[in-house]
């Protein structure tokens, strides 16, 4: 398959807080649980599932938090 051995990593942002992505939160599930269908598809086609990167609460993110996320993203791209 054309995708076998390719890396699959989710990088996203959410306007909502991380607390909303819990079993007790607004969405009733974790962010990781929301990614399960994508993870299973990636595994099915032989892709390498990697840890995701998400920036929560983007409406209130500070410059320092944004810079830290950008640094982490740059690091992930170099792996």
Is residue 1 assigned to a domain?
Answer: no
Residue 78 pLDDT class (50, 70, 90 cuts): confident
The tens digit of pLDDT for each residue in 11-48 reads 999 999 999 999 999 999 999 999 999 999 999 999 99
Degrees to nearest 5, angle at CA 72 with 45 and 19: 85
pLDDT at 49 over 90: yes
> What is the number of domains present in the chain?
1
Q: How far apart are CA 49 and CA 9, in angstroms?
A: 6
Write the DSSP symbol of residue 55.
Answer: E
| 41 C-beta neighbours (distance < 10 Å), count | 13
Render 60-71 in DSSP notation, one character per residue: G--HHHHHHHHH
Task: Give the range of the structural domain holding residue 37, as residue numbers without chain letter.
Answer: 7-78
Q: How far apart are CA 50 and CA 45, in angstroms?
A: 14
Is residue 30 assigned to a domain?
Answer: yes
Is residue 2 assigned to a domain?
Answer: no
């Amino acid at each position: 398959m054309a995708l076998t051995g390719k890396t699959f990593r989710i990088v996203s942002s959410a306007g909502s807080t991380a607390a909303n992505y819990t079993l007790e939160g607004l969405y009733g599930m974790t962010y990781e649980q929301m990614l399960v269908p994508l993870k299973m598809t990636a595994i099915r086609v032989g892709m390498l599932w990697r840890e995701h990167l998400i920036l929560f609460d983007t409406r209130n993110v500070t410059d320092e938090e944004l810079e830290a996320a950008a640094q982490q993203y740059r690091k992930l791209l170099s792996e």
